[in-house]
């Protein structure tokens, strides 16, 4: 009896800790979505400090997890920490030696990674569904915002950049600018709607927890947002996630009826979208930009898109003659690091992520960290396929929205870093039904 009481108290304690960590996970997601708004509109004078707005949440989570033995000391975190330790030593002893730049490089490369596993440990599939409901309602507000930015001049307050400066939009087509929404950069809009697509297609194929009204309205909002964004990356990323969602239903019961449901919602969403003038205006700008960037003068789609993607993967290893053996040092390739070292922002070691990693860590450490990221992606994919074979395709859907950033996304860009962390957490959580609550932290994180 005393043993049962002790077990009950221990369970209640863990339950309370997990509740706090769940709250911190929700806070992290909320800050990711609004920190750009804080930096542009509400507190522009604190723009540089707010770049680190999510860091206190991560520190609170680490403190709580370490105190109560809930920190995810799995093979991914331990191996990543080992790589970072060697990289920090190489940076301080051989590289640029700037402690502040090194610290920012560590933040960019790894600092938030363990939090992704904490999120995956304390959230469940049902939590992912709940987050998705709020996210899909949020697409209506985000789409309204980017439509206002699309039509407003760059001098308008709604198009302010970080720090309250004018011109928050980015070059698009036909005199229109790519709207950043609540984010500091257009890339936030890309991944916001890619994740919205993941929640939408999961709601259409994996569960029936969303109302038909929400599914139709959010589908409409996503359909309008794609051309309004004037972003090629969004249509490709969202298209991939949607295709994976369709695949996830292939071997499920009543697959045909699921496809009929998807087609019906898509048609309703497209019909509603076509009622808005902005849809036609945005399509014209989007198609113009697509033609200019992928037309014959640019070598066609193969050269403009496929060759660019291939170069992201192989370029760092075929164009590395001038890279020092152990690189320039951690953080040197980020915009913040470049500003601290040279006084000017820029991508001195290359704009693509693998160029940055090999430039900072050289072909030895840079390649090892690239291999670590590939390994984590592969492992997530393996477990997602296991869950898929058991009838749960949500892991595959959210991995499709996360894998590109985990592989080659710019971790030094705070918004991309945040979506990568949230993506890992949601991928793991979406494969965890409530009955796995008794698993240990490390077992849950590893799976």
- Average pLDDT in the 79-107 region? 93
Query: In whole angstroms, what is the distance from residue 47 CA to residue 162 CA?
Result: 6
- Average pLDDT in the 375-394 region? 93
> Any long-range contacts for 21-25 (C-beta under 8 Å, 24+ apart)?
21/61, 21/64, 21/65, 21/70, 21/118, 21/121, 21/122, 22/122, 22/123, 22/127, 24/57, 24/60, 24/61, 24/64, 25/61, 25/118, 25/119, 25/122, 25/123, 25/425
CB-side exposure of 302: number of CA atoms within 13 Å?
2
What pLDDT does residue 391 have? 87
Q: Which of 281-290, 373-382, 394-403 has the lowest mean pLDDT?
A: 281-290
What pLDDT does residue 249 have? 80
Residue 165 structure tokens? 């400066």
Residue 173 belongs to what H/E stretch? strand 170-173
pLDDT of 164 > 80? The answer is no
What pLDDT does residue 15 have? 75
CA angle (274, 282, 295) in 5-degree steps: 120
What pLDDT does residue 11 have? 54
pLDDT-based confidence at residue 274 (cuts at 50, 70, 90): confident
pLDDT-based confidence at residue 425 (cuts at 50, 70, 90): very high
Name the average pLDDT for the chain: 86
Query: In whole angstroms, what is the distance from residue 30 CA to residue 208 CA?
Result: 25
Query: In whole angstroms, what is the distance from residue 437 CA to residue 282 CA?
Result: 47
Phi-psi map region of 241: left, alpha, beta (phi>0 left; psi -120 to 50 alpha): alpha
- Return the residue matching tokens 């951690």: 330
pLDDT-based confidence at residue 10 (cuts at 50, 70, 90): low
CB-side exposure of 293: number of CA atoms within 13 Å?
18
What pLDDT does residue 5 have? 55
> How far, in Å, are 300, 345, 359 from residue 321 at the CA level?
30, 24, 11
Listed residue (60, 108, 65) closest to 84, CA to CA? 108
- Average pLDDT in the 309-323 region? 69
- Interval 165-202: pLDDT, tens: 777 666 777 778 889 999 988 999 999 999 999 999 99
Residue 302 or residue 29, greater confidence: 29
Residue 170 belongs to what H/E stretch? strand 170-173
- Strands (E) in 302-423, as ranges, are none
Listed residue (269, 167, 275, 187) closest to 229, CA to CA? 187
pLDDT-based confidence at residue 298 (cuts at 50, 70, 90): low
Q: Which of 96-110, 329-343, 376-390 has the lowest mean pLDDT?
A: 329-343
pLDDT-based confidence at residue 439 (cuts at 50, 70, 90): very low
Claim: this prediction has a pTM higher than 0.75: yes
Give the number of other CB atoms < 10 A from CB of residue 240: 16
What pLDDT does residue 265 have? 86
Give the number of other CB atoms < 10 A from CB of residue 309: 12
């Amino acid at each position: 009896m005393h043993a049962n009481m002790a077990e009950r108290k221990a369970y209640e304690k863990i339950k309370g800790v997990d509740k706090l960590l769940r709250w911190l996970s929700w806070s992290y997601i909320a800050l990711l979505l609004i920190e750009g708004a804080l930096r542009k509109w509400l507190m522009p004078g604190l723009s540089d400090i707010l770049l680190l707005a999510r860091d206190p949440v991560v520190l609170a989570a680490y403190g709580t997890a370490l105190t109560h033995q809930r920190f995810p000391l799995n093979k991914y975190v331990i191996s990543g920490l080992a790589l970072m330790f060697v990289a920090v030593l190489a940076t301080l002893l051989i590289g640029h030696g700037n402690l502040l730049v090194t610290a920012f490089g560590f933040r960019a490369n790894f600092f938030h990674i363990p939090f992704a596993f904490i999120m995956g440990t304390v959230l469940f599939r049902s939590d992912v569904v709940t987050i998705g409901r709020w996210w899909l309602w949020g697409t209506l507000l985000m789409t309204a915002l980017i439509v206002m930015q699309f039509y407003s001049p760059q001098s308008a307050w709604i198009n302010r950049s970080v720090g309250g400066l004018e011109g928050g939009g980015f070059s698009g087509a036909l005199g229109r600018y790519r709207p950043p929404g609540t984010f500091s950069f257009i890339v936030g809009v890309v991944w916001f709607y890619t994740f919205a697509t993941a929640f939408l297609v999961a709601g259409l194929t994996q569960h029936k927890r969303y109302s038909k009204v929400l599914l139709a309205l959010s589908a409409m909002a996503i359909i309008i947002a794609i051309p309004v964004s004037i972003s090629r990356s969004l249509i490709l990323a969202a298209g991939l996630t949607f295709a994976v969602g369709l695949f996830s239903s292939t071997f499920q019961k009543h697959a045909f009826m699921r496809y009929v449901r998807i087609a019906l919602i898509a048609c309703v969403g497209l019909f509603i979208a076509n009622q808005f003038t902005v849809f036609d205006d945005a399509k014209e700008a989007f198609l113009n930009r697509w033609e200019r960037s992928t037309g014959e003068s640019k070598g066609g789609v193969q050269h403009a898109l496929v060759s660019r993607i291939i170069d992201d993967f192989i370029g760092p290893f075929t164009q590395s003659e001038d890279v020092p053996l152990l690189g320039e040092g951690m953080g040197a390739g980020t915009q913040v690091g470049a500003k601290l070292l040279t006084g000017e922002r820029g991508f001195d070691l290359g704009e693509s992520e693998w160029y940055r990693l090999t430039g900072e860590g050289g072909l030895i450490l840079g390649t090892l960290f690239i291999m670590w990221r590939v390994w984590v992606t592969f492992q997530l994919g393996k477990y997602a396929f296991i869950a898929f074979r058991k009838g749960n395709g949500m892991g595959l859907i959210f991995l499709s929205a996360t894998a590109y950033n985990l592989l080659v996304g710019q971790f030094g860009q705070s918004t991309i870093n945040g979506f990568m962390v949230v993506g890992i957490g949601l991928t793991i959580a979406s494969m965890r039904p409530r009955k796995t609550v008794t698993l240990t932290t490390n077992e849950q994180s590893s799976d």
